[in-house]
Amino acid sequence: MNWRRLLLDNLGFKLSALVIVALLWISVTADERQAQPVSTRVAYEVADSTWVLVEGPSEVSTTFQGRNRELLGLLMEEPVVTVVIDSVLGPDMRIPLPLSQVAYNRDLGVVPSFITPSALDLRFERRIAARVAVIPDVDAMPAAGFTVLSPVLVDPDSVTVRGPESWIADLKRITTRPVELEALSTTVMRDVGLLVPPNVQGVDVSPASVVLTVNLDSLIVRRRRVPVRLRGAAASVTIADPDTVAIVVRGAASIVEATLDATSELVIDVPTAPEQAEQRPLSVTLQAGGPVAAEVDPPNVTLRPRT
């Protein structure tokens, strides 16, 4: 016997018959009364601001009685039980959960019969506050010919964080939500929220957001000739060859100009006179605030005793 053929022959009619049977079953059983446990969300209202609820069930089970079609309505509108705590008596509390606190759509005609568990075991921690630094989380990509100046400015640069003592005690900083910027050619200011771990309860941050400023500058290259000055006890009996060099500075325009303004000469310490010619490297002190690099041409000078 070909079972596959028997199964697939007139498949459409067979599926239609199956649907009809299912609808008939639902119609027949819709008016039957029964008890049905339904997941019930728990909402907490803690009026005592000196404590933070850190552990407690997010849902319980409420058993409702009613007709099947009425009970199906509870699946569309989830019941909620609100737990109001006016005063916290200590870190561990057991709160009774009466049926009268269950909120549901009473127009459905169902009735709650009991709730499981009948009491909630809750854990609290003292709420404390700390002033912590704000660290920006910014990924900024400049357009061609531009560069991002550092640091990214944060206003305010610190905030007050209130929350459970065990978390606040170790908190040194808080970061902003990630910000991604691309093809920047002008300064950008953004109001950005602060990142709080989702698993930490009862956290309040004031202010809730900060203003980030990302400054940009154009990229330039500048060349300047400066003298080489000898300094120290043997400076007067030593000569430098060459006695002038060129410095080439490239990077953010404002930082390049600041570096050049601070470099009117290159200094070499000569505590003792050289007995013979010796090479000394030269370097430029770079200013902070953005990408900048400098090179000296030539990179070394020769020190000789003055004759």
pLDDT digits (tens, 9 = 90+) for 194-216: 999 888 988 999 999 999 999 99
Q: Is the pLDDT of residue 143 over 70?
A: yes
Q: Is the pLDDT of residue 145 over 90?
A: yes
Over residues 125-151, mean pLDDT: 95
Buried b (16+ CB within 10 A) or exposed e, 121-135: ebebbebbebebebb
- Among 204-213, 224-233, 285-294, the range scoring the smallest mean pLDDT is 285-294
- Rounded to two decimals, what is the model's pTM? 0.69
Supply angle C-alpha 170, 173, 176, rounded to 5.
135
Q: What is the mean pLDDT of the chain?
A: 89
CA atoms within 13 A on the CB side of 165: 8
Residues 134/176, Cβ–Cβ less than 8 Å: yes
- Residue 298: strand, helix, or coil: coil
CATH tag for 219-305 (out of 2.170.120.30, 2.40.50.140, 3.40.50.920, 3.30.465.10): 2.170.120.30
32-117 is a CATH 2.170.120 domain: yes
pLDDT digits (tens, 9 = 90+) for 251-280: 999 999 999 999 999 999 999 999 899 999
The set of residues, in sequence order, having a beta carbon less than 8 Å from that of 5 and lying 6+ positions away, is none
Over residues 213-226, mean pLDDT: 96
**What pLDDT band is residue 35 in, cutting at 50, 70 and 90?**
confident
**Residue ranges of the chain that CATH labels 2.170.120.30:** 219-305
- In order of 138, 268, 276, the CA distances from 304 in angstroms are 52, 13, 6
What per-residue confidence (pLDDT) applies to 30? 46
CATH code, residues 127-214 = 2.170.120.40
Task: Report, in this order, helix, strand and coil percent for the chain, each rounded to 5.
Answer: 15, 50, 30
d(CA 270, CA 171): 50
Residues 140/120, Cβ–Cβ less than 8 Å: no
d(CA 57, CA 41): 9
CB atoms within 10 A of CB 232: 14
Instruction: Name the residue with tokens 């000296």.
Output: 296
Question: Phi and psi dihedrals of 283, rounded to 5?
Answer: -145, 160
d(CA 53, CA 202): 7
d(CA 284, CA 223): 13
